Amino acid sequence: MDILELFIESLGTLTLNKTRTGLAILGIVIGIGSVIALVSLGQATQQSVQSRIESLGSNLLTIQPGSTNQGGVRGAQGGRTTLTLDDAKAIETSTLITTIGKVSPEFSRRTQITTGGSNTNTQVIGSTPAYAEVHKVTIASGSFITQRDVEVMSKVAVLGPQVVTDLFGEGANPIGQSIRAGGQTLKIVGVTQAKGGSGFQNQDDMVFVPLTTAQKQLFGVNYLGSIALEAKSADVMADAQNEVGYFLLTKHKLSDPTQADFSILSQQDILNTVTSTTGTFTSLLAGIAAISLLVGGIGIMNIMLVTVTERTREIGLRKALGAKKKIIITQFLLESIILTFTGGVIGIILGIITSYFISNLTSSPFVISPASILLAFVVSAGIGILFGWYPAQKAAGLQPIEALRYE
């Protein structure tokens, strides 16, 4: 009996009990579909977060008060008020720093914004004109903060599109209208282009005001929350990190880098951290989904064992008529592989469709990894062989006389 005849006979055997065959396939379908859908979700999340970080600006370095171990400067525990506008100006004008282009001193704090009968709690960013260049902020209408606004502490504001929607409604034009923040009335002079995002770092849910206005009139502080720097190229990021770090150590009169009262974080550091975190998250999701594959494989083994029991007399008759052990093993293995392969194909289709709907519902990228599909095929075939082998061996090991007497 050749392999084609065995294949046709295996198909015929499986179709005799369609309900049991369908339930066996279902476990593999759910397992394969879950792996593909969850891996796709994890990769889409990683891609989405990376694109949002990259949209904040290219070749970006961020100096923060206090300390974390970063790059060329390792900081000790410091205060949160150690950065000043003088530090930013010194970095910008220093002849010792040759790797930095734009410098953006910033101060941010969440606060309540009101206008008429509407209000929202959002992030207010005290900024200078350099902010738009460093963070790649595009103006959809009106204008951004000017140097004149910073110098005279103008009471003006530039709104993100989400803030416009929250305060004025969808599609409204707020230019020329006023909002209140921190007890001050601010005139709206611009609206930024939508970038997309969510949570506390949503670039569309921000209000930009002149840095001096934020410091002196809204929040009453004389320090900075951070200083954003744009390196001249990606190749000099490490050099820029070290140049700025040691320059600030000298300016703050600190001789020991371990006592730094600031930390410098590069955009690549953030991307590496996010990639590592989301990669772990994706692996965890895939691992959870793989458990259902294991369950599905065990289900197939159980069903094949039941099938061996039900077909004991048939197996005995075939062996009595001269069927070799190899033929019996091959037939039962084929039946198991057909089950898992069919479930694998349906699971792949289901996983892709599920991923597509999830991406639409969450407005995330639609990402399907060819590697996950290839893995699904390999795993489904492997499960068929692994969990079909024991029942096949058991069937092939039956003695003809005992099998024929089986009731």
Between residues 305 and 359, which one has the greater pLDDT?
Answer: 359
- Determine the average pLDDT of the residues in 98-113: 92
- Determine the average pLDDT of the residues in 261-269: 80
Rounded CA-CA distance 175/194 in Å is: 16
**Total-model pTM:** 0.61
Residue 91 binned pLDDT confidence (cut-offs 50, 70, 90) = very high
188: helix, coil or strand? strand
Q: Among the listed ranges 86-90, 379-383, 394-398, which one has the minimum average pLDDT value?
A: 394-398
- Determine the average pLDDT of the residues in 391-402: 66
- Determine the average pLDDT of the residues in 340-345: 83
Between residues 261 and 398, which one has the greater pLDDT?
Answer: 261
Q: Which two tokens stand for residue 82?
A: 């150690």
Q: How far is CA 143 from CA 107, 128, 156, 203, 209, in A?
A: 20, 13, 11, 17, 12
Cβ-based neighbours of 183, under 8 Å, separated by 6 or more: 218
The confidence score (pLDDT) of residue 155 equals 95
Encode pLDDT of 324-336 as tens digits: 777 777 777 787 7
- Judged against a pLDDT cut of 70, whether residue 67 lies above it is answered with no
Pure H helices in 311-369 = 312-320, 325-362
Q: What is the end-to-end Cα distance of the chain in Å, rounded?
A: 28
What's the whole-number average pLDDT of the chain? 80
Residue 73 binned pLDDT confidence (cut-offs 50, 70, 90) = very low
Residue 75 binned pLDDT confidence (cut-offs 50, 70, 90) = very low
In a 13 Å sphere around the CA of 370, the CA atoms on its Cβ side amount to 0
Kindly report the number of other CB atoms within 10 A of residue 273's CB atom. Answer: 12
